[in-house]
Amino acid sequence: MAKPRVLVTVGPSNSFKLEAIDPGFEPKMRDSVELVCLEDAIAAAETNPVQVWACFAHSSVNPDVVRKISPRNTLRAVVNYGVGTDHIDLKGLAEMGVPVSNTPGVLNDATAEMGWALLMACARRIPQCDQFCRTGQFSKYNNLVYMGKAIAETTLGIVGLGRIGQAVAERAVGFRMQVLYAGRSRQPVEVEARCGNAQHVPLDDLLARSDYVVLCCPATAETNKLMNKERLHMMKSTASLINIARGTVVDTDALVEVLRTKVIDSAGLDVFEPEPLPTDHELYTLDNVALAPHRGSATFETRAAMLKLVCDNIFAAVAGEELLTRCN
């Protein structure tokens, strides 16, 4: 009996680079399914169609491609490696009757920890201090070089108090921070209590009051360039902006300008627009920004949990069962 076929795509170009995926993926799959590339899936769409599309690293998934690989509507599911789905047309696929899953929950802690790593890097000038030492400038003691900012007993503003935002807020309790959050709706009282008695406030108020602003909101039409020039200018001149959401949430050109002119103190970025940034981008020339190459969920433990959830969703779809974490 032929194995069920699973389309695998990696990155915006929808390539078939299995080596770019968690090395545990192919061994877990090989005995149960046949992994195929997009070209093969399209070529055999009429005679031997794929049953599941597994997408990694923000592959572009839309109804037009689904029709090419599944002209007879035989695609059972799209399984996404990651919690963000801004690269998937969720509504369009739902209208076609194609369920989509992602990997929520298992990456909350790792992504929140990355947010805190960037926040601390900004507060204590870690990138600058590292460069100072590596370039031989630490030849004598200077009591005033690269002075940092306090974290304890300051104000943390979180834009989007979902799962990841809550994980960020919970870690603020140990720093005795006042926690503000902005979002479409207020969270239940018990969630606010767990998050350091977080207060739901309008976004503009949050920006004006926060010493550290952490973006945790999803990428949607409403949040596209949410942090534009006007809103960036609402922030304190001593504040830091941390983005662990999506690059599209921030107007990159406006951010470069406020960092260059010191309108805000600093930024810590794990995501960009565009992504990856061009190698000659001005952000790389600024010394008040901490950069990471979209490593929010990149711990061994988290990636193993994500991979297991992806595999479990693939096996469920192949078996004709409900997806464990459907999101459309």
* Domain residue ranges of the chain, discontinuous segments joined by +: 5-105+300-318, 108-291
Within 8 A by CB and 6+ apart from 192, the residues are 186, 198, 199, 200
**Active-site position among 125, 171, 231, 246:** 246
Q: Annotated catalytic, 275?
A: yes
Give the 3-state secondary structure of residue 126.
helix
Q: Tell me the CATH class for 5-105+300-318.
A: alpha beta
Q: Which of 95, 275, 301, 321 is flagged as catalytic?
A: 275
Contact by Cβ (8 Å): 239, 260: no
Q: What is the DSSP string of 43-58?
A: HTTTTS--SEEEEESS
Q: What is the pLDDT of residue 1?
A: 65
Nearest 5°: the CA angle 186, 189, 191 is: 85
Given 125, 209, 294, 303, which residue is catalytic? 294
What pLDDT is recorded for position 118? 98
126, 120 contact by CB (below 8 A): yes
Q: Active site includes 294?
A: yes
Q: What tens digit of pLDDT does each residue of 37-83 get?
A: 999 999 999 999 999 999 998 899 999 999 999 999 999 999 999 99
Task: Classify domain 108-291 by CATH architecture.
Answer: 3-Layer(aba) Sandwich (3.40)
Grouped pLDDT means (10 residues each) for the chain, 328 residues: 91 88 87 95 96 92 96 96 94 96 96 98 96 93 92 98 98 98 97 98 98 97 97 98 98 98 98 94 97 96 95 96 96
Strands 212-215 and 155-159: parallel
Report pLDDT for 57: 83
Structural tokens at position 200: 């739901």
pTM for the predicted model, two decimal places: 0.93
- What DSSP letter does each residue of 180-200 carry, written as one string? EEE-SSPPPHHHHHHTTS-EE
Burial of 326 (0-12, 13-18, 19+ CB in 10 A): middle
